[in-house]
Amino acid sequence: MRRYLFLLLAAVLLILLAGCGGNGPIWPGDPKPPVTPPPGPNPGGAAYQLQVYIGLSKTTGNAPMPVNMWANVKGGKGPYYYRWDVNGDGLWDYGGIGVSEVGIHYASAGLYHILLEVEDSLGQAYRATGLVQVKPSGPAASPAAIPGVGVAPIMVTLDGSGSYDIDGDVVYWEWDFESDGVWDYESDTSGVTTAVYELPGTYNASLRVTDDDELTDIASVQIIAL
């Protein structure tokens, strides 16, 4: 009879926990397990005291950055209920029985504070924290020359509008028409300009782009004047 009541109480507890899933506000405070094991038969003794740690596949990198995170649970009594706040905004993002691992894709640079709360079927609760630093990705320069081949003198449209920044915006474009170290064109509004190549030869036009994190990238395109 006692075993039946215990199982019934555990089932009721889990049902109540199921109503406290993701997207809810985080209750203030810091849940900790009781100092002594819960009453009743527990062959592990003090091993029933719940402890939780967060495992992270990566702690730093450039955006976009995928991160797998999982709960390392010691002690307590399953089944366990997990709640995750993966970006430190004070809301539970994921929650449920058995949600011990989540995969996150951090698209933007930032410092993300992770909070995990675990409750077991005995009513013990424990919180663990983690930290992930996502750095800016930097822009990607994508130069184009139209036409790329022609009879000298040839007027060429140099187009850098295909350049991009995954976690922000390209805010500055520069062109070096002959890759001689002199930036012949600069703009904070457009990556498109024209250049005239008077003499026959093979030229490399270099494009340098800068993003809103002040990171740069350089690439070149070939022009052939016949």
Q: Report pLDDT for 11.
A: 44
Q: Report pLDDT for 41.
A: 55
Tokens of 137: 């990705």
Domain 139-225 annotated CATH 3.30.1330.10: no
21-33+47-135 and 139-225, same CATH topology: yes
Please tell me whether the overall predicted TM-score, pTM, comes out greater than 0.85 for this model: no
Q: Report pLDDT for 49.
A: 79
Ramachandran assignment for 10, one of left (phi > 0), alpha (psi -120 to 50 degrees), beta (any other):
alpha
Q: Report pLDDT for 63.
A: 87
Alpha carbons 17 and 5: distance in angstroms, whole number:
18
Fold for the domain defined by 21-33+47-135: Immunoglobulin-like (2.60.40)
Each domain of the chain, given as residue ranges in start order, spans 21-33+47-135, 139-225
Q: How far is CA 17 from CA 13, 22, 80, 117, 121, in A?
A: 6, 11, 10, 12, 10
Q: Which residues of the chain have pLDDT under 50?
A: 1-20, 43
Q: Report pLDDT for 18.
A: 40
Greatest CA separation for the chain = 99
Q: Report pLDDT for 108.
A: 85
User: Are the CB atoms for 223 and 197 separated by under 8 Å?
Assistant: yes
Q: Report pLDDT for 75.
A: 84
Q: Report pLDDT for 61.
A: 92
User: Are the CB atoms for 95 and 21 separated by under 8 Å?
Assistant: yes
